[in-house]
Amino acid sequence: MLEGKVAIVSGGTRGIGLEIVRLFKKNNAQVILFGSKKETVDKAVSSLNNEGLNVEGYYPNLNDPNEINKVMKKINDQYGHIDILVNNAGMSSNKKIEDTTYEDFKQIMDLNVNAIFNLSKAVIPYMKGQNNGVILNTSSMVSICGQPSGIGYPTSKTAVNGFTLSLARELAPFNIRVNAVAPGITNTDMVSNLPKEMIDPLIKTIPLGRIGEPLDIANAFLFLASDMASYITGVVLSVDGLARN
């Protein structure tokens, strides 16, 4: 489904991001994953290579536009084009607001929102030059229904939705599609770090009767990245087993 495409996936070393990298590669894309540090990038690249899925990895500071621009130029120079950007890097929180410092809140916004701006802005000139491209952002079900603590995370994901819808309108004349996927409760490290008393009641509200797996979410990204979704832009696609209010 992605034959000949060059895809960049931030937050690609574990969880949903790693599954996106794996699935894109299995669908014949050239995939470059971004991670937060050398150790995690090297580990993910080695693991995928052992599966016969040869990928590359970088660990740029996602809040340093100059560093990001250099990496994007290097990738474009190497492959001649960049077709897909998946903005998946992110972090969560479960602190009550009275326990959340400004620094806590800012850290979430820097990674979940500002990094998306930096990565998208860096890749857009290359996509405009080829009059084609796909930008996909990871949102969350909590952008729709909120969560009982950890105010920074749903705030950031609501911002991702607004970013997605607005950028889709701005870039449509250049044949660049911008969409988001809003996962529900998914079996990842991020969810495993949340308290059981927060997760169990939510699972009971899911009509499909289970939490999602990373592959469930990656499949949605694959569809939106592919030409099968060539007439879809400005959509926030919920993949949550109907786990919404």
Q: Residue 103: which residues within 8 A CB-CB, separation 6 or more?
A: none
Q: Token pair of 114, please?
A: 């500002």
> Residues 58, 59, 126, 153: which is the catalytic one?
153
Instruction: For residues 209 and 239, give the distance between their C-alpha atoms in angstroms, rounded to a whole number.
Output: 14
Contact 234, 168 (CB under 8 A): yes
Tell me if residue 231 is catalytic: no
Contacts of 242 (CB under 8 A, 6+ apart): 206, 207, 208
* Eight-state DSSP code of residue 151: T
Helix (H, G, I), strand (E, B) or coil at 157: helix
Helix axes 115-130, 65-79, angle to 10 degrees: 30
- Is 16:186 a contact under the CB 8 Å cutoff? yes
Total residue length of the chain? 245
End-to-end CA gap in the chain:
34
Interatomic CA distance for residues 179 and 183, integer angstroms: 13
Instruction: List the catalytic residues.
Output: 153
